[in-house]
Structure 1
């Protein structure tokens, strides 16, 4: 009834989002897929920010456990730190995600959370969905140190969407990725239709000030003329400007 045309649009969208998460025995598969495609689970994502720990995905519970352990139990009943983690992962407001991640980055818990994120990407917990995995990748890019790069680099051999997410995350972490890894990405995903991934790789190597990888993108036969042109633009910048990209 809430999803009926007579209801307001916000009510219909909220109802559709919740219907789309019902078990298959309650809601037919076809109907659930149609509703999910139409409305994108906006209500479900927002709901994750306000539910108690018992309602968190297993990966988020693991992160919060790592945070409490790092705080030697002092923040077990403190709702601020868990809320920051949830906001940094799932907030539908991009500014809020950035602010929350920046606060966590300057907190004493940064290393503990980053270590837990890396572990969750290397050995995903059963039932980790694509939305949660993408959020974990993004947050590790914000909090990770150079030692965490391998956890993301192993995803460069995965499906194009996961490889692109890992590339964007690697752009913001200290250190750099071996040129051979980028060669493999282009070899595995060099066919037509993978330009979004190539753009993500371009962003990563440019932010990492990797001139060798930029040259690879400029000269490779597998990249589009547009990606090659953008790589050339980066290479033509004075060294001082390239160096300032991450400072």
Structure 2
């Protein structure tokens, strides 16, 4: 393959796709939001920072022509996904959404689904120790909790935070033993997470199941209409190949 592809990244799938496309001979530009101080960089060219919404991305696409855009951002990166759809529509650049499937409950799981972070904060009222694994950007929704909250992130979270917060600075992936140890050490009695999907962070769900700890899961937001969606890197490569790139 030849041609040029913009990958909106920040996920493991985005990095694997960039590596595969570079190996295929494609000129890849990966865009990262820049929210992590030292992100894992993909193969190919990399730009860091936002575009300035849909109009900014459209301007970038006009100034930097590409044959296709692959939105491989996090399943909850709603603003970027919406901007990609709007910018692709405005410029006529083909757009693909690469999104890993969500998680499926296993026997013994106690999952409690909610539609938002605010709903998750309501769902954990009355628990003693909450393990928050929703990302730094959404912690303000839990600032009013009286429970002890354990927050794990790559970089230190910024306020507002719950009054009783223990911060664990670490970069995953985490093993099942890691997750079991954390739940035991802090006497966690409920886990809060988003339905991110994939194997990289599923160990916390397995640990919760083994310890009989309930999990509050935030449902994924809907995707823009009219944008093709694939679940794997191989499917994304096939789609790019079908564009005769």
Tell me the TM-score normalized by structure 2. Answer: 0.23
Relative to its length, the structure with more helix (as a share) is 1
Relative contact order, higher structure (CA 8 A, sep 6+): 2
Tell me the TM-score normalized by structure 1. Answer: 0.23
Max Rg structure: 1
